[in-house]
Amino acid sequence: MGCFWVPRCFQLQEAANFSGTQKVFHAHAPPPFSPLFVLASRPSAGPNGSVDRVGGWFTNNEPVSVEALPDAYYHFTNWTGDVEAGAEQDNPLNLVMDGPKAVMAHFAASWTTNSPTPHWWLGQFGITDHFEVAVFADPDGDTIPTGDEFTMNTDPTNGLSFLSVAHIGNAYGTNCYESVWTNSEPPYEEVTQTVCDVVGLLLSWPADTGRVYDVEFDTDHPWGNWVPVEGLTNLTTDTGWISITNVTDAEALKLYRLRVHQP
């Protein structure tokens, strides 16, 4: 940091073990000057919060108050650093500057208690208050409550956005042949059709890159005895789409369903 004259040359040295919302700079003053300390902070550039002061020089034992300011949809949790035991959750935090001090504020996302959903997730869809009620609502009318749409990570304001199977049907292999047939009605034209062997069942759906999917099946009616399909659990995607062509035994397994959850 170079040299800083207060009133003699002080060597400012950045503490190595802090970063983020606050940093401390040690001021080494030779005697007989009374010690001056600096609590240096800077507003957080991160998404979760900031602190209310930018630090400065303080005389020995001077009281200093620092407040943690959470961003919208987040809340303050605790301080770490030079905090007295028992004061970790005080906000504002009162410090006595009897030495160089560095404190760091920590924040966490606020979630609903009902159908646990982060407030920030709701906020990005314009849902900014009454969160505990909002998770049970269905503003887009697709019959999926907003809290369940968080689990799916689909758009609770778009009635076409929810977890759904896009395609289920035969999967065809590369062993193909031509089938020729004649139309039974005038003008009786000949038609050639390429037919390929059925090698399994194709199952595909739009998927979220931040969610994990399981395919389950049930062999009994009434349905209710769902079991994961071996090899088709913990499925993820980088592309926004999952397509499976090796779902076999469709007759025996009878009914399939998709399950989605967070990683």
- Under the binding rule (CB under 5 A), the answer on residue 82 touching Ca ion is no
Nearer to Ca ion, 4 or 162 (CB): 162
Nearer to Ca ion, 157 or 234 (CB): 157
Q: Where are the beta strands (DSSP E) in the chain?
A: 3-5, 9-14, 22-28, 36-41, 49-51, 55-59, 62-66, 68-70, 74-81, 93-97, 103-109, 167-182, 190-206, 212-218, 227-228, 241-247, 255-261
Q: Which stretch binds Ca ion (CB under 5 A): 90-98, 155-163, 207-215, 239-247?
A: 155-163
Distances in Å between the alpha carbon of 59 and those of 36, 47, 99, 138?
5, 33, 9, 58
- Choose, by CB under 5 A, the member of 78, 110, 114, 161 that binds Ca ion: 161
Total chain residues near Ca ion (CB under 5 A) = 4
Q: Which structure tokens are listed for 68?
A: 């943690």
Contact 71, 47 (CB under 8 A): yes
**H helix intervals, 116-240:** 119-123, 131-134, 146-152
Residue 153 CB, nearest distance to Ca ion (Å)? 11
Give, as one character, the DSSP assignment of residue 92.
Answer: S
- Under the binding rule (CB under 5 A), the answer on residue 162 touching Ca ion is yes
Rounded distance between C-alpha atoms, residue 13 and residue 10, angstroms: 9
Residue 109 CB, nearest distance to Ca ion (Å)? 22
- Under the binding rule (CB under 5 A), the answer on residue 172 touching Ca ion is no
- Under the binding rule (CB under 5 A), the answer on residue 148 touching Ca ion is no
Nearer to Ca ion, 91 or 115 (CB): 115
Residue 164 CB, nearest distance to Ca ion (Å)? 10
Residue 235 CB, nearest distance to Ca ion (Å)? 21
Residue 62 CB, nearest distance to Ca ion (Å)? 55
Q: Which structure tokens are listed for 256?
A: 């399939």
Rounded distance between C-alpha atoms, residue 68 and residue 63, angstroms: 17
Amino acid identity of residue 92, one-letter, is P
Query: What number of other Cβ atoms are within 10 A of residue 170's Cβ?
Result: 13
Q: Which stretch binds Ca ion (CB under 5 A): 7-15, 43-51, 77-85, 139-147?
A: 139-147
- Under the binding rule (CB under 5 A), the answer on residue 204 touching Ca ion is no
Sequence-distant (≥ 6) Cβ neighbours of residue 158 within 8 angstroms: 140, 142
Q: Which stretch binds Ca ion (CB under 5 A): 25-33, 53-61, 161-169, 182-190?
A: 161-169
Residue 157 CB, nearest distance to Ca ion (Å)? 7
- Choose, by CB under 5 A, the member of 122, 142, 211, 250 that binds Ca ion: 142
- Under the binding rule (CB under 5 A), the answer on residue 140 touching Ca ion is yes
Nearer to Ca ion, 41 or 154 (CB): 154
Nearer to Ca ion, 18 or 162 (CB): 162
- The residue ranges that bind Ca ion (CB under 5 A) are 140, 142, 161-162
